[in-house]
Amino acid sequence: MAEALSSDELRRLLRLVPAGQLDAAFLSRLAPELDGELSGDEAQAIVEAMGSSRSDDFVNWLFQEETASAKLCKRLRMDMASLRAWKARLAEDWSLQGYIELTEHRGITLAQLQRIMAYIEANYHAWKDRRGNAVSLEQVTLYVFN
Q: Going residue by residue through the chain (146 aa), what tens digit of pLDDT does each one get?
A: 346 667 787 777 777 777 667 788 888 887 777 677 778 788 888 777 777 777 777 777 777 777 777 888 887 778 888 888 888 888 888 776 677 778 788 888 898 889 889 988 988 888 888 788 888 999 888 777 77
Among 17, 20, 19, CA closest to 29: 17
Residue 110's pLDDT is 92
Residue 4's pLDDT is 67
Residue 100's pLDDT is 77
pTM of the model: 0.48
Residue 3's pLDDT is 60
